[in-house]
């Protein structure tokens, strides 16, 4: 591997595809490029670890890769330290980050990925925790984690499942854009990339390319909003 | 006043009504019953304190009550200590709770309300912070507060702007019920009352009556879900 290797999916599910199907080509190419045959799956964003791991295994093992759940190891740090590739799945971002802190995995994963020793795949909550912080998750704050700071493989924030459709016209809750706007107006805010369902970020060292079957929207300080489409090079977002 | 006095609104806006109009009768009756003429407004859930206070004042002053913003006092604790009624408005729940902690107002408000010395009106985020914790807010976690524990005027949680409509059929993000279900499955979870827009909780000592123009849905451990309609006595929820 040369530099950090990460594939960040907006979600595992995308309308019109079976689970992870929209990302099959990218995931296979990513794992093959990094000479990976075994994937360590982290089911911590959900509560039924076995079921969740088996669901992912049921898809990915057919693509020629073996999958084991991190919860099956008595020493999670050791398992992460010897893995070549990790896949962190979606569910609840607060629950996921809290468990990563409990097991002292946040810095370990960060260091191994940044040293180019661990390839990272994330989906939804697993994508949120790969960024600077979880300030832009859509999830309900069901548990209080020791920090909102996350693994920080990229120096910006992500809003997965991004949509600019209104929930419905009579409902008075905030739209997604208003929610992201509330964050962007904070002094500590980073830029936010809204990943539409079906969107994939491919991080290869200092290169960042938008892949998958749907685009992304960048929100910046001052209210600037820019649309990017599949295939575009957005490596400038990796500059700190 | 006899015991805690609180009026908890799902939101300030309700489809088909101008701002706070759906709650006018209840707010006026509540303030009159508690011999209140002056309302201390807390605009901390938003960033433009003057604008927000003026918007609320523009409505409520026409009903015969004076309104001052908490941000106009050099000593917020002193202002809260001498107020007879407080109105905490909506916006972002994390920002609101963080500012209440910064100004050391959480325990002060709790104690004065529970002693029957301060009447409390909350709307949306202002309703969230009146409950046990903010674990069931819909807001984006734009700032990390020192705790998710809140004022605790009632021993359960509230989900304001509750809706059981799906955002849209092709979107794969969680529904509101799924989000609340994620919280309910946590060991530390309290019961959650989902307040539909237009719903109002009237707390009068140990009595709790559902008022306003829309009902509420109670979520309990084990997945039990119960619908309540306007006028129903749900005082059992106040038992700890
Ligand atoms: Ca989620
Ligand atoms: Ca809000």
**Residue-range domain boundaries for chain B:** 5-163+192-216+225-238
CB spacing of B182 vs A142 below 8 angstroms: yes
Q: For domain B5-163+192-216+225-238, which architecture applies?
A: 3-Layer(aba) Sandwich (3.40)
Alpha carbon distance A42, B210 (integer Å): 43
Residue B92 Cα to ligand 2 middle (Å): 5
DSSP state of A142: -
pLDDT, residue B185, reads 95
> By the 8 A CB rule, do B49 and B69 touch?
yes
> By the 8 A CB rule, do A10 and A49 touch?
no
- The mean per-residue pLDDT over the stretch A147-162 comes to 97
Fold exhibited by the domain A5-238: Rossmann fold (3.40.50)
Q: Is B50 a catalytic residue?
A: no
Q: Is B161 a catalytic residue?
A: yes
Q: Strand order in A157-162's β-sheet? A: A157-162, A192-196, A216-219, A225-228
pLDDT, residue B166, reads 65
Separation in Å, CA of B42 to nearest CA in chain A: 18
Main-chain dihedrals φ then ψ at residue A107, nearest 5 degrees: -70, -35
Separation in Å, CA of B10 to nearest CA in chain A: 10
Main-chain dihedrals φ then ψ at residue A188, nearest 5 degrees: -90, 5
Choose the closest CB to B141 out of A134, A167, A174. Answer: A134
CB spacing of A171 vs B197 below 8 angstroms: yes
CB spacing of A171 vs B179 below 8 angstroms: no
Mutate to test the interface with B, among A95, A133, A173 (most CBs of B within 10 A): A173
Alpha carbon distance B123, B119 (integer Å): 14
Catalytic site residue from B123, B161, B177, B204: B161
Residue B105 Cα to ligand 2 middle (Å): 20
Q: Which residues of chain B have pLDDT under 70?
A: 1, 166-172
Residue A165 has pLDDT above 90, yes or no: no
The pLDDT confidence band at residue A1, using thresholds 50, 70 and 90, is low
pLDDT, residue A166, reads 65
Task: Return the SS3 of A9.
Answer: strand
Whose structure tokens read 């006043």?
A: B1
CA distances from B173 to A12, B161, B177, B230 (A): 10, 17, 12, 30
Catalytic site residue from B10, B123, B124, B199: B124
Q: How far apart are the first and last CA of chain B?
A: 22
Mutate to test the interface with A, among B23, B102, B172 (most CBs of A within 10 A): B172
DSSP bridge partners of B217: B194, B227
> By the 8 A CB rule, do A100 and A108 touch?
no
Q: Which of residues 101-140 of B touch A (CB under 8 A)?
A: 134-140
> By the 8 A CB rule, do A99 and A70 touch?
no
Residues of A in Cβ contact (< 8 Å) with B91: 182
Alpha carbon distance B128, B112 (integer Å): 18
Kindly report, residue by residue over A16-46, the tens digit of the pLDDT.
899 999 999 999 999 999 999 999 999 999 9
Task: Return the SS3 of A188.
Answer: coil
Q: Is B175 on the interface with A (CB under 8 A)?
A: no
Residues of A in Cβ contact (< 8 Å) with B199: none
Choose the closest CB to B197 out of A172, A179, A183. Answer: A172
Residue A57 has pLDDT above 90, yes or no: yes
Separation in Å, CA of B214 to nearest CA in chain A: 13
pLDDT, residue A116, reads 97
CB spacing of A142 vs B197 below 8 angstroms: no
pLDDT, residue A71, reads 98
């Amino acid at each position: 591997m040369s530099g950090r290797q990460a594939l960040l999916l907006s979600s595992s599910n995308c309308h019109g595809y079976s689970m992870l199907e929209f990302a099959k080509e990218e995931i296979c190419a990513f794992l093959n490029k990094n000479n990976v045959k075994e994937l360590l799956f982290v089911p911590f964003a959900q509560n039924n670890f076995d079921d969740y791991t088996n669901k992912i295994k049921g898809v990915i093992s057919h693509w020629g890769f073996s999958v084991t759940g991190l919860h099956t190891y008595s020493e999670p740090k050791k398992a992460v330290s010897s893995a070549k590739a990790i896949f962190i799945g979606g569910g609840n971002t607060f629950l996921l980050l809290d468990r990563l802190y409990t097991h002292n995995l946040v810095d370990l994963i960060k260091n191994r990925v940044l040293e180019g020793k661990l390839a990272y795949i994330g989906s939804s909550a697993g994508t949120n925790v790969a960024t600077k912080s979880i300030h832009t998750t859509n999830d309900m704050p069901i548990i209080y984690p020791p920090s909102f700071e996350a693994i920080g493989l990229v120096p910006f924030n992500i809003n997965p499942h991004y949509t600019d459709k209104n929930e419905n016209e009579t409902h008075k809750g905030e739209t997604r854009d208003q929610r992201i706007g509330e964050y962007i107006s904070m002094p500590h805010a980073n830029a936010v990339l809204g990943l539409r369902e079906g969107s994939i970020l491919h991080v290869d060292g200092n290169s960042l390319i938008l892949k998958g079957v749907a685009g992304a929207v960048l929100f910046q300080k001052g209210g600037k909003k820019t649309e990017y489409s599949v295939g575009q090079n957005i490596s400038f977002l990796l500059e700190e």
